[in-house]
Amino acid sequence: MPKPTALSGFPELLPAERFVEQQVLATLADTFELHGFANLETRAVEPMDQLLAKGETSKEVYVLKRLQDEGTGDAGMGLHFDLTVPFARFVLENAGKLDFPFRRYQIQKVWRGERPQAGRFREFTQADIDVVGRDTLAFHHDVEVARVMAEALSRLSFLPGFRIQVNNRKLIQGFYAGLGAPDPLTVMQIVDKLDKLPGDKITELLVVDGKLTPEQAELTLALARISSDDTGFVDQVRALGVADPLLEEGLAELAAVIEGCAGITSDRVRVVADLSIARGLDYYTGTVFETRLDGFEGLGSICSGGRYDALASDGRTTYPGVGISFGVSRTLVPLLAAGAVAASRSVPSAVLVALADEESRPRADAIATQLRANGTPTEVAPRPDKFGKQIRYAERRGIPFVLFSTDNDHGDGGAEIKDIRSGDQFPIDPATWTPPAEDLRPTITTMQETPQ
Amino acid sequence: MPKPTALSGFPELLPAERFVEQQVLATLADTFELHGFANLETRAVEPMDQLLAKGETSKEVYVLKRLQDEGTGDAGMGLHFDLTVPFARFVLENAGKLDFPFRRYQIQKVWRGERPQAGRFREFTQADIDVVGRDTLAFHHDVEVARVMAEALSRLSFLPGFRIQVNNRKLIQGFYAGLGAPDPLTVMQIVDKLDKLPGDKITELLVVDGKLTPEQAELTLALARISSDDTGFVDQVRALGVADPLLEEGLAELAAVIEGCAGITSDRVRVVADLSIARGLDYYTGTVFETRLDGFEGLGSICSGGRYDALASDGRTTYPGVGISFGVSRTLVPLLAAGAVAASRSVPSAVLVALADEESRPRADAIATQLRANGTPTEVAPRPDKFGKQIRYAERRGIPFVLFSTDNDHGDGGAEIKDIRSGDQFPIDPATWTPPAEDLRPTITTMQETPQ
């Protein structure tokens, strides 16, 4: 087989990079579970009709075909392009076996059948949390998912600061209704381009395509420009002089999310009301979320979501939901590539047991077993090379400690440990010794530790 | 959307079942890491020519096709059907960035484009460990992978007892060579059917298709019937009177694996020499492994592998490897379906904070935050229902504790916890109280706890 080359859009991590990802996933899972979210994994495939159910023809889907299947034969299945469609299907399929409100988290790969293109992922990992109810779902779950995801991201201490931007579809739609906009959906789609087009171009589009008067267009733009890190946005919106019951409902809900997150914000973690956020064509009906990473704004939103009044429905029963999805690969792959985050070693091993000769391997294995019994990841040298070479073996992998057996001719077992970073060497008892906690597992190092 | 139905061959787990799987995967990962194996995840897809490189046309593969791709256009990629092919490709692609010998574990889903059929998985999870060298790989790694996997499986205490059956291709091939068999490969394929066909049928096939004399056929059958849980097999083989240098090498290697595993065997965990094991057509060149689960022999081998002299090769450099693959879904899905194993609850939450009225939600959230800060998974009641109804909410999910806030009119914070299993209720301080360790997370319960 000639040397294979990487496949564009299918990122793969080397062992030390994968360690960083594992730590991220473990931190996310731990946070979600502390808040009572149960884990689910759904199959990778869904029937094509469900993948395309919401007219998502814009989403590129990979269709499966059995190799042995001659002729027409699609399997009628495609790889899921997000975790929401499979979750909605899972809820309908298993509704009788689930207790509602049902909190779940799901961390899985998703696929997009994109044309190969630089910076465009075709396989990537997402971490989703959702709360779903049967018939009804109280609004306080909107506050809950925002808090849980903000807490999870804030525990990823290697991340730069980030800003969760919250808005509310009721607020926008109520405002447009109060304004008398004839085609609110088109208006929302135009405003959604605010970060791509200049303000006067937006105004023009609002008048021409959005069928607004210039005054209505100005107010629409003024609304989209409001943002605040507290509930100050409420008065700013009222100052625009538009009144509508749905607008009032949206203002109250958005204020509740911002207030509810007040306890977890910091310099690094901000939860702000940003009235430009609309989440495009997605089927949200209330709260909407996006998230920007400081210094990596080019990544777009790394964590998005919102409230669906009908996450799923079988015609008789409707399941409303609210959730957020964190783009793990989208965030981590560029940070790893930029060297902004790395792991301290490429193997789990904290200790290498050195080997004087091949005959002493059983003794080395026995020592390794003692260390592992106390939770210390340990490997035994593959060959009885000169000790200098064995130490370099450890160095290359970032293993901090090398253990030398000091058995004497009388068979008295003994051992010395060498910290190969400092060169210190000292006697230990393998039955009881453990490395310092910070050396037990690989650790994550970040560029931010260097003062900027 | 009408109620969807399950897709045959794509098992999905309910939350409590998924908890069991999560625990299994965590135990496997922990064991592998204690032995210095680093985690890898490879992409789900491989180029079709690599999936079919070893003439694996018998393996059903799912081919990908982009939905938007008109005409002929396969993407030229298929979903991997095991974790060995992708790992071999990863080693070749990244050889310059890896340190050898390289230990890795990989826990991922694999896919087989099978015709839908009862009991046949089309998507399932495997857990693989491999050690791969550059140019050479010492034999002691064969012993290592057997020990590591035996230890990992033995830590899955809910599993029935199991038997790792070890054989060695050098032993078999050397024996056939010493016997003078004209077509050793055909002989091996016939012997591989020993568990499906009666002995006299095998003898007949060995003579007709295997081109052996009746005496050679008898000796071949006698070899395949040898098994021992210690190195007793060596003398049994020698008693057959066949001599060959490769046979001697195989005997020594197999004896070393059995001796090397002696320290970890028990009533539940047996590592035995079984000279009927051949692993069919797979490209093993030395040690081979299979594993049977007591009482679930119908599952076939749940954990198989062996030594490849050329796991991967780019023409200039060869990478020998040895590994074992545990069929996680293959083992767990039938055990879950049989009710042989279950989780104690369907949510991570150990505590439900009850709610007297909606106004006290912020106080309930604050108490929940205190409990979570000490590592206790906690949720707050979704509605201020009557306390009896809130207790039933906890009961249905298996949450063991319900917390009642006992704030008095003077604002003095207080709390009482109720163990809803015993009915005991007692005052606690939410800032310091944690549940007993065994209640902190869902636990795995097994049928085996009932004496048989």
Distance (Å) from the alpha carbon of B100 to chain A's nearest alpha carbon: 9
B93 — pLDDT class (breaks 50, 70, 90): very high
Query: A171-204: b or e for each residue (b if 16 or more CB lie within 10 Å)?
Result: bbbbbbebbebeebebbbbbbbebeeeeeeebbb
Question: What ipTM was assigned to the predicted interfaces of this complex?
Answer: 0.94
**pLDDT of B450 above 50:** no
Query: Are β-strands A401-405 and A351-353 bridged in parallel, bridged antiparallel, or unpaired?
Result: parallel
- DSSP assigned state of A215: H
Q: Is the peptide bond before B101 cis (omega within 30 degrees of 0)?
A: yes
Q: What pLDDT is recorded for position A5?
A: 82
How far is Cα B279 from Cα B296, in angstroms, rounded to an integer? 19
Instruction: Please give the average per-residue pLDDT across B17-39, as a whole number.
Output: 98
Structure tokens at B257: 């694996």
Q: What is the pTM of this model?
A: 0.95
Architecture of domain B351-442: 3-Layer(aba) Sandwich (3.40)
Structure tokens at A153: 């991201």
Query: Are β-strands B74-79 and B415-419 bridged in parallel, bridged antiparallel, or unpaired?
Result: unpaired
Of the candidate ranges A27-41, A122-136, B39-53, B313-327, the one whose mean pLDDT is the lowest: B39-53
Instruction: Please give the average per-residue pLDDT across A301-320, as a whole number.
Output: 94
Nearest to B166 by CA among B183, B150, B187: B150
Q: What is the pLDDT of residues A182-203, one digit of tens each?
A: 999 899 989 988 888 998 999 9
Q: What pLDDT is recorded for position B451?
A: 38
Structure tokens at A40: 């689910």
Contacts of B75 in chain A (CB under 8 A): 62, 113
How far is Cα A310 from Cα B441, in angstroms, rounded to an integer? 32
Please indicate whether, in this complex, the C-beta atoms of A92 and B43 are within 8 angstroms of each other.
Answer: no
How far is Cα A188 from Cα A181, in angstroms, rounded to an integer? 11
Contacts of B42 in chain A (CB under 8 A): 12
Please indicate whether, in this complex, the C-beta atoms of B375 and A34 are within 8 angstroms of each other.
Answer: yes
Q: What pLDDT is recorded for position B419?
A: 98
Q: What pLDDT is recorded for position B287?
A: 97
Residue A165's alpha-carbon distances to A22, A190, A221, A267, A302, in angstroms, are: 27, 19, 17, 15, 11
> Which of A21, A30, A34, A139 has the highest number of chain B CBs within 10 A, making it the mutation to test binding with B?
A34
**pLDDT of B410 above 70:** no
Contacts of A261 in chain B (CB under 8 A): none
How far is Cα B352 from Cα B337, in angstroms, rounded to an integer? 29
B356 vs A59: which has the higher pLDDT = B356
Distance (Å) from the alpha carbon of A328 to chain B's nearest alpha carbon: 14
Mean pLDDT value across chain A: 92
Cβ atoms < 10 Å from Cβ of B359: 9
Q: What is the pLDDT of residues A202-250, one digit of tens each?
A: 999 999 999 999 999 999 999 999 999 999 999 999 999 999 999 999 9
Query: Are β-strands B401-405 and B351-353 bridged in parallel, bridged antiparallel, or unpaired?
Result: parallel
Contacts of A138 in chain B (CB under 8 A): 382-383
DSSP H or E run through A15: helix A15-34
Instruction: Please give the average per-residue pLDDT across A89-96, as a whole number.
Output: 96
Contacts of A43 in chain B (CB under 8 A): 7, 10-12, 123
A265 — pLDDT class (breaks 50, 70, 90): confident
B199 — pLDDT class (breaks 50, 70, 90): confident
- Three-point CA angle B87, B279, B222, nearest 5°: 155
Structure tokens at A389: 């070479």
Would you list the DSSP string of B231-247?
A: TTHHHHHHTTT---HHH
Where are the domain boundaries for CATH 3.40.50.800 in chain A? 351-446
A281 — pLDDT class (breaks 50, 70, 90): low
> Which of A62, A123, A140 has the highest number of chain B CBs within 10 A, making it the mutation to test binding with B?
A62
> Which of B8, B10, B12, B259 has the highest number of chain A CBs within 10 A, making it the mutation to test binding with A?
B12
Where are the domain boundaries for CATH 3.30.930.10 in chain A? 15-342
Of the candidate ranges A110-114, A223-227, B43-47, B443-447, the one whose mean pLDDT is the lowest: B443-447
Distance (Å) from the alpha carbon of B150 to chain A's nearest alpha carbon: 14
* Phi/psi of residue B415, nearest 5 degrees: -155, 150
Task: Using CA coordinates, name the residue in chain B closest to A6.
Answer: B93
Query: What three-state secondary structure class fits A173?
Result: helix
Structure tokens at A76: 């009628």
Please indicate whether, in this complex, the C-beta atoms of B111 and A312 are within 8 angstroms of each other.
Answer: no
User: At residue B190, what is the residue type?
Assistant: I
- Three-point CA angle A306, B351, B399, nearest 5°: 95
Of the candidate ranges A27-31, A247-251, B15-19, B48-52, the one whose mean pLDDT is the lowest: B48-52
Contacts of A99 in chain B (CB under 8 A): 346, 393, 396-397
Q: What residues are paired with B111 via a beta bridge?
A: B123
Among B94, B377, B393, the residue with its CB nearest the CB of A34 is: B377
Q: What percent of chain B has pLDDT over 70?
A: 94
How far is Cα A61 from Cα A78, in angstroms, rounded to an integer? 6
DSSP H or E run through A163: strand A162-168
Q: What is the pLDDT of residues B418-449, one digit of tens each?
A: 999 999 999 999 999 999 999 999 999 887 54
Among A1, A3, A35, the residue with its CB nearest the CB of B53 is: A1
How many Cα neighbours within 13 Å face the side chain of A373? 11
A264 — pLDDT class (breaks 50, 70, 90): confident
Q: What pLDDT is recorded for position A118?
A: 73
Of the candidate ranges A74-83, B40-49, B265-274, B296-305, the one whose mean pLDDT is the lowest: A74-83
How far is Cα B183 from Cα B199, in angstroms, rounded to an integer? 20
Nearest to A322 by CA among A149, A151, A141: A141
Q: What pLDDT is recorded for position A71?
A: 52
Where are the domain boundaries for CATH 3.40.50.800 in chain B? 351-442
Residue B451's alpha-carbon distances to A53, A372, B448, in angstroms, are: 51, 32, 7
Structure tokens at A392: 């370099």
Which residues have C-beta within 8 Å of that of residue A270, sequence separation ≥ 6? Answer: A161, A162, A163, A164, A229
Burial class (CB in 10 A: 0-12, 13-18, 19+), B448: middle
How far is Cα A435 from Cα B209, in angstroms, rounded to an integer? 61
Query: Are β-strands A341-343 and B341-343 bridged in parallel, bridged antiparallel, or unpaired?
Result: unpaired
Instruction: Report the CATH fold assignment for B15-342.
Output: BirA Bifunctional Protein; domain 2 (3.30.930)
Contacts of A361 in chain B (CB under 8 A): 140
How far is Cα A49 from Cα B62, in angstroms, rounded to an integer? 19
B289 — pLDDT class (breaks 50, 70, 90): very high
Nearest to A312 by CA among A109, A97, A137: A137
DSSP H or E run through B182: none
Contacts of B346 in chain A (CB under 8 A): 38, 99
Nearest to A351 by CA among A411, A436, A412: A436
Nearest to A187 by CA among A168, A167, A166, A209: A209
Q: Is the peptide bond before A101 cis (omega within 30 degrees of 0)?
A: yes
B414 — pLDDT class (breaks 50, 70, 90): confident
**pLDDT of A158 above 90:** no
Please indicate whether, in this complex, the C-beta atoms of B99 and A2 are within 8 angstroms of each other.
Answer: no
Q: What pLDDT is recorded for position B405?
A: 92
Please indicate whether, in this complex, the C-beta atoms of A140 and B79 are within 8 angstroms of each other.
Answer: no
Cβ atoms < 10 Å from Cβ of B117: 10
Architecture of domain A351-446: 3-Layer(aba) Sandwich (3.40)
Cβ atoms < 10 Å from Cβ of B139: 16
Structure tokens at A324: 């957020």
> With contact defined as beta carbons under 8 Å apart, do A36 and A70 qualify?
no
How far is Cα B119 from Cα B117, in angstroms, rounded to an integer? 6
How far is Cα B373 from Cα A397, in angstroms, rounded to an integer? 35
DSSP H or E run through A314: none
**pLDDT of B411 above 60:** no
Q: What is the pLDDT of residues A392-451, one digit of tens each?
A: 999 999 999 999 998 755 555 689 999 999 999 999 999 999 999 999 999 998 875 443
